[in-house]
Amino acid sequence: MDWNWQVIIDYLPTLLGGVGLTVQLVLLSGFLGFGLGLLLALLRISPSAWVRVFPFIYIFFFRGTPLLVQIFLIYYGLGQFNFIKESFLWEPVLKQPFWCAIIAFTLNTSAYIAEIIRGAIQSIPVGELEAADAIGMSYRQKLTRIILPRAFGIMLPAYSNEVIFMLKGSSLAMTIALMDITGLAKYISSKTYTVFEIYFAAGMIYLVLSWVILLTFRFLEKRMNRHTNYVPPDVATSTIP
């Protein structure tokens, strides 16, 4: 097989034109999914079994079914219900492939984020929570000052993986005619018949985006968990001026 570098050079600007849409899909669905996932995680750790039922079913469904099926259910399936087609959300939101992709990605990633946050909260040392109770903190104070800040620091490595998975999962947006990186790669390859070269270039763009995400979360992890790297001075060997 003869490698055609020229087609990559010629169409790389076109492929890069899909980066904006891909980043929009990841950032917007990631932001909305984090908020929904946080709410679901707090419901999952509720002492009431009745409160835990809904988030459990929600998480079980969205983690147990393929993202592609969820996209099709929202984009193609909702239009089969007359009351949805007659609602005020149909034309501006539910009929638009961009917003259907955002809804699907948000619902999917929120289920994974909820479990990540729940695991982080439950891994907080019990002694820290007991100390908060000992000084008379209310549940709201304990949640905002201890539980959530500590959980965010613990969950960052796992959450960075979820964001990268979401970046790769965003390629499924091309199945509903969105021209993201993968959608443009499919269009260009069908036009030039250079499947390997174009999809290789698209893969390299995803690789660079994943590297940027990884470095960003590594920086945040060092900032939020800098207390774990503190090395106390050796009092026995230090000299007093």
Give the pLDDT of residue 150: 87
Q: How would you write 125-175 as a 3-class SS string?
A: CHHHHHHHHHCCCCHHHHHHHHHHHHHHHHHHHHHHHHHHHHHHHHHHHHH
Q: Nearest CA to 35 among 89, 107, 87, 85?
A: 107
Which one-letter DSSP state was computed for residue 46?
-
pLDDT along the chain (241 residues), means of 10: 79 93 95 96 91 94 95 92 88 92 96 95 87 86 87 90 94 92 93 90 95 92 69 55 50
User: How many Cβ atoms are within 10 Å of 83's Cβ, its own excluded?
Assistant: 7
Contact assessment for residue 147 and residue 121, using Cβ atoms and an 8 Å cutoff? yes
Give the pLDDT of residue 201: 94
Q: What is the pTM of this model?
A: 0.88
Residue with tokens 């939101």: 93
Cα 79 vs. chain centroid, distance in angstroms? 27
Q: Nearest CA to 175 among 105, 82, 108, 87?
A: 105
Domains of the chain (ranges; CATH) run: 5-226 (1.10.3720.10)
Give the pLDDT of residue 119: 93
User: Which residue type does 166 have?
Assistant: M
Give the pLDDT of residue 117: 95
Q: How many helices (H) and strands (E) does the chain have?
A: 11, 0
Q: How many whole angstroms separate alpha carbon 119 and alpha carbon 151?
A: 8
Task: Give the three-class secondary structure for 48.
Answer: coil
Q: C-alpha dihedral over 169, 171, 173, 179, to 10 degrees?
A: 160
CA distances from 226 to 113, 124, 178 (A): 23, 17, 41
CA distances from 174 to 55, 116, 134, 177 (A): 29, 28, 54, 5
Residue with tokens 């990884």: 214
Give the pLDDT of residue 50: 93
Contact assessment for residue 37 and residue 113, using Cβ atoms and an 8 Å cutoff? yes
Give the pLDDT of residue 6: 85
Contact assessment for residue 155 and residue 116, using Cβ atoms and an 8 Å cutoff? yes
